[in-house]
A and B are shown apart, each in its own frame.
Chain A
Amino acid sequence: MTDPIVTFERVTKSYDGKVDVVKSLDLTLRRGEFLTLLGPSGSGKTTTLMMLAGFEEPTSGVIALEGRRLNNVPAHRRGIGMVFQNYALFPHMSVAENLAFPLQMHGAPRSDIPARVKRALDMVRLGHLGDRKPTQLSGGQQQRVAVARALIYEPKLVLMDEPLGALDKQLREQMQLEIKHLHESLGVTVVYVTHDQSEALTMSDRIAVFHHGVIQQLATPAELYERPANAFVASFIGENNRLDGRLTSRDGALCRVRIGDGTEVTATMIADLPIDSPVVLSIRPERVIIGAADSGSNRFTARLEEVIYLGDHCKLRLGLGGSDAFVAKVANTADASRMSRGDAVIASWRPESCLALPPSGNG
Chain B
Amino acid sequence: MRRTSLTRLLLWTTTAAVLVFLIAPIVVIFPLSLSSGELLTLPVPGYSLRWYEDFFTSSKWLSATRNSFIVGIATAALATALGTAAALGIFLGRFRGKAVLVALLSTPMVVPVVVTAVAMYFAFALVGLNNTLAGLVIAHTVLAVPYVLITVLATLQTFDPNLLKAAATLGAPPHVAFRRVVLPLIAPGVATGALFAFATSFDELVVAIFVSSPGQFTLPRQMYAGLREFLSPTIAATAVMLVLCSLALLAANEIIRTRAKLRMQGTLDGGVPE
Contacts and interface: CB of A to CB of B under 8 A. Distances in A.
Interface stretch (A137-145, A186-194, A268-276, A281-289): A137-145
A82 interface: yes
B168 A54 contact: yes
A332 interface: no
Interface in A65-82: 74-76, 78-82
A149 B170 contact: yes
A138 B273 contact: yes
B168 A74 contact: yes
B166 A82 contact: yes
Interface in A87-113: 88-92, 101-102, 105-106
A55 B272 contact: no
B166 A84 contact: yes
Contacts, number: 88
Interface string B171-202: 11110110011001100000000000000000
Contacts of B266: 132-133, 135-136
A171 interface: yes
Contact of A75 (B165, B180, B271): B165
Interface size bracket, B side:
20 to 34
A78 B10 CA distance: 68
Contact of A135 (B170, B172, B271): B271
Interface string B154-167: 00000010110111
B264 A75 contact: no
A82 B272 contact: no
Nearest to B169: A82
A54 B171 CA distance: 12
Nearest to A82: B169
A127 to B, nearest CB: 15
A132 B168 contact: no
A234 interface: no
A96 B206 CA distance: 53
A136 B177 CA distance: 23
B57 interface: no
Nearest to B183: A92
A150 interface: yes
B265 interface: yes
A54 B172 CA distance: 13
Interface in B223-268: 263-266, 268
Most central of B170, B180, B181 by chain A CB within 10 Å = B170
B169 A75 contact: yes
A86 interface: yes
A152 B139 CA distance: 50
B88 to A, nearest CB: 17
Contact of A76 (B160, B172, B270): B172
A102 B274 contact: no
A92 B166 contact: no
Contacts of A150: 169-170
A153 interface: yes
Nearest to B270: A136
A79 B265 CA distance: 32
B166 A140 contact: no
A208 interface: no
A88 B268 CA distance: 21
Contacts of A105: 170-172, 176
Contacts of A84: 162, 165-166
A149 B181 CA distance: 15
Contacts of A91: 185, 264
Contacts of B180: 101
Interface string B4-17: 00000000000000
A81 B168 CA distance: 9
B170 A141 contact: no
Contacts of B273: 138
A123 B85 CA distance: 40
Given A74-B168, A133-B265, 10 more contacts: A75-B169, A82-B166, A86-B160, A89-B166, A101-B172, A101-B180, A102-B170, A132-B266, A138-B271, A150-B169
Interface of A: 53-55, 74-76, 78-82, 84, 86, 88-92, 101-102, 105-106, 132-133, 135-138, 140-141, 149-150, 153, 159, 171
